[in-house]
């Protein structure tokens, strides 16, 4: 039997940790310290690669600007008119629904009044 150094509980031989407090019997070794490297800037290869990437990105942006067509003005107007028509239609339908709902509630209130009469 192995006695736990933390709580004193006896665990069976060959156990890796205490059955009571779960304290490991063999402590893990601390990770080795990595010596601090002297501060240095990026290498010439890294700087050259970054310059190449920036140039490539700049070229890609320039090449896309010529190929993207602008939407014609009539299409923009048509889209805004369609959106306005949809909004007006939705508001009209909402108004009709609320008006009918109000009428239904009024009819229900009137019918309840008639039901209460002797």
**Residues in CB range of 16: below 8 A, 6 or more apart:** 24, 25, 26
pLDDT band of residue 105 (cuts 50, 70, 90) is confident
**Residues in CB range of 26: below 8 A, 6 or more apart:** 16
User: Model pTM greater than 0.75?
Assistant: no
pLDDT tens across 16-45, in order?
878 888 888 776 666 677 767 665 677 788
46-66 mean pLDDT = 82
């Amino acid at each position: 039997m192995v006695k736990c150094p933390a709580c004193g509980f006896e665990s069976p031989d060959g156990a890796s940790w205490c059955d009571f407090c779960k304290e490991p019997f063999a402590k893990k070794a601390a990770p080795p310290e990595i010596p601090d490297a002297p501060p240095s800037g990026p290498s010439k290869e890294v700087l050259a690669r970054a310059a190449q990437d920036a140039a490539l990105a700049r070229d890609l942006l320039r090449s896309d600007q010529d190929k993207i067509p602008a939407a014609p003005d009539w299409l923009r107007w048509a889209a805004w008119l369609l959106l306005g028509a949809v909004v007006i239609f939705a508001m009209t339908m909402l108004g009709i629904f609320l008006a009918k709902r109000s009428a239904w509630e009024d009819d229900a209130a009137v019918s309840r009044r008639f039901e209460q009469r002797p």
